[in-house]
Amino acid sequence: MSADMSEETTSGQAHDAAGPPESVVDAAAAAAVAPTSAVAAEARDDLSQVEPVVGAPKPDAILVADDVVRRFGGMTAVDVEHLEVQRGAITALIGPNGAGKTTFFNLLTGFDTPESGRWSFEGKSLAGKSGARVAQSGMVRTFQLTKALSRLTVLQNMLLASPKNPGERFWLSWLPFTWQAHEKEATEKAMEILARFKLDAKADDFAGSLSGGQRKLLEMARALMTDPTMIMLDEPMAGVNPALVQSLLGHVQALRDEGMTVLFVEHDMHAVRHISDWVVVMAEGRIVAEGPPATVMQDQAVVDAYLGAHHDTDLGDDSLLDPEILARLEAEEEKR
């Protein structure tokens, strides 16, 4: 694994002229992998006991979903019978394009409403809660197409995420003394996180001036500002310079090692197998397999549904040729 990483790092330096700071991040992130938190170690321990079958119960599940169904027109985009996500682990949600991953993700985070279903986060039901309430309860998400707030500075992007800011109440907003203390604390915290993501030099730039990869980092950093218990990343690697992928993966691992739970969506198996503790595979709206990465890759259902035809090819383009997948994609597109 470390061999992989250094290989990628050198190639990154060659390809990405604008990216010296980014490749430094790689090294930092790689270093961060070593000290693992107790929660993360325990989670890995726990998961090694779990039988790799669909809907398997987890020893310490932070997120439990049951019978979540979402239809677009006549087509069932998501139909998940049972899923548990282990606390303190990195769980990857993978599947070919159009498998319903992002839709499922939107449902869980309150950005879409299912036809039916219930799910709970840390024992509290989240079904029917708005996106904002879900975020307030400690489950924070990012987006596949990055949503950097372009005409705010990087620092403003970060400060916006700070929870419970008294100055965000209208009746206190015009009395600066009521919120300046909180603002100062938040700024310190923001600069710390930005420094970790090597964005501190850009703090006063408009977020719109960042590169695609930097935006991804900013979005992750912004999510961290909310002190989440669980962080949901929607295709964090999509559209990112290959050189930066390693760095991003390193950051994701670092989150886990700090005790956070990570669920992330990805369609490329190769990118996730290094870092995830558990992999859930979706195809045509259903969960077809789950288990540790190595086990899942040998699962016949996965090979059939997903890897068989497209192994080692770029799924993104080929799958577009399949009319069924195309129709599903369009349905998702419309929803957006």
Partner 1 sequence: MDEFLRILTQSLAELIAPTTAAYALAAIGLNLHFGYTGLLNMGQAGFMLLGAYGFGIATIAGAPFFLALLVALVAGLIFALLLGIPTLQLRGDYLAIVTISAAEIIRWIGRSTWLQEWTGGASGLQGRNYKGTFQDLSPLPDGRTVIGPLEYINTGSDSWWTRIFAWGVVALALLFVWLVTRSPWGRVLKGIREDEDAVRALGKNVYSYKLQSLVLGGMLGALGGVLYVLPITIAPDAMGRTMTFFVWTVLLLGGAATVFGPVLGAMIFFGAYMFMRTGMRALSENTGVGDVISTTNVEQIGGMLVGITLMLLVIFRPQGILGNKKELAFNVR
Partner 2 sequence: MTTDRPTRAIALRRTVAALAIALAPAVLASPPAQAAPGADAAHTSSAATSTTATRLATDVATDCKPDDSTACVAVVVMNDAGDRIADAEVTITGPGGFDETVTTTADAPASVAVPEVGRYTLTLDPASLPAGEQLPDGASTELQVTAQTGGTGRAAFQVGGEAVAPESPSAEATTTAPGGDEGTDAGTGTTTEGDGVATAPEGDASERAFSWGQVWQQFGSGIRFGLLLALASIGLNLVFGTTGMSNFAHGEQFALGAALGFIAINQMGMSIWVGGLLTIAVCALTGVAQDAAIWRPLRRRGTPVMQLMIVSIGLSITLQYVIQLLIGGGSERILSANPRPLTLLGITLSTTSWISMAVALVCLIGFALFLTRTRLGRATRAVSDNPALASATGIDPDKVVRVVWILATAFAALAGLMWGISFGSFNWQLGVQLLLLMFAAVTLGGLGTAFGALVGSILIGLVVELSNLVIQSDLRYASALVILILVLLIRPQGILGRRERIG
Partner interacting with residue 333 (select from partner 2, partner 1, none; CB below 5-8 Å by kind): partner 2
Closer CB to partner 2, 112 or 277, in the complex: 112
Q: Which of 131, 176, 208, 212 binds partner 2 (CB under 8 A)?
A: 131
Q: How far is the CB of 105 from partner 2 (least distance, A)?
A: 11
Closer CB to partner 2, 46 or 112, in the complex: 112
Partner interacting with residue 10 (select from partner 2, partner 1, none; CB below 5-8 Å by kind): none
Distance CA 290, CA 302 (A): 9
Restricting to residues 226-245, which ones interact with partner 2 according to CB under 8 A?
none
Closer CB to partner 2, 131 or 176, in the complex: 131
Output the six-digit token pair for 94. 């993978």
User: By the criterion CB under 8 A, which residues form the site for partner 1?
Assistant: 109, 111, 130-133, 135-136, 140-143, 147-152, 156-157, 159-161, 163, 165, 167-170, 172-174, 176, 179, 183, 206, 208-209, 219, 222-223, 225-226
Q: Which of 86, 79, 164, 155 is nearest to 122 (CA)?
A: 86
Partner interacting with residue 176 (select from partner 2, partner 1, none; CB below 5-8 Å by kind): partner 1
Output the six-digit token pair for 58. 């987890």
Question: Is 336 a residue that touches partner 2 (CB under 8 A)?
Answer: yes
Rounded alpha-carbon distances, angstroms, from residue 129 to 13, 67, 110, 221: 44, 17, 6, 24
Output the six-digit token pair for 135. 């975020």
Partner interacting with residue 222 (select from partner 1, partner 2, none; CB below 5-8 Å by kind): partner 1
Part of the chain binding partner 2 (CB under 8 A), chosen from 3-11, 228-236, 255-263, 326-334: 326-334
Question: Is 132 a residue that touches partner 2 (CB under 8 A)?
Answer: yes
Q: Contact, 271 vs 265, CB < 8 A? A: no
Rounded alpha-carbon distances, angstroms, from residue 143 to 199, 210, 238, 302: 19, 16, 10, 26
Closer CB to partner 1, 101 or 141, in the complex: 141
Partner interacting with residue 66 (select from partner 1, partner 2, none; CB below 5-8 Å by kind): none
Which amino acid is it at 250? G
What contacts 24+ positions apart, CB below 8 Å, involve 268-273? 268/94, 268/237, 268/315, 269/94, 269/297, 269/306, 269/307, 271/237, 271/245, 272/92, 272/94, 273/297
Restricting to residues 90-129, which ones interact with partner 2 according to CB under 8 A?
106, 110-113, 128-129
Q: Contact, 21 vs 244, CB < 8 A? A: no
SS3 166: helix
Question: Interface with partner 2 by CB under 8 A: which residues?
Answer: 72-73, 106, 110-113, 128-132, 330-331, 333-336
